Structure 1
Amino acid sequence: MINDNDVIDTLDELEAFLFLIDNGGLGLKNVTGVALATNNTNGRPFVAVLDDQHKLLLGRWVTQDVFENGKDLVRRGPKKSH
Structure 2
Amino acid sequence: MSLIITDECINCDVCEPVCPNEAISQGVEIYEINPDLCTECVGHYDKPQCQQVCPIDCIPLNPDHRETQEALMEKYIRITQG
Q: One fold, TM greater than 0.5? A: no
State the TM-score, normalized to the length of structure 2: 0.27
Bigger strand fraction: 1
| TM-score (ref. length: structure 1) | 0.27
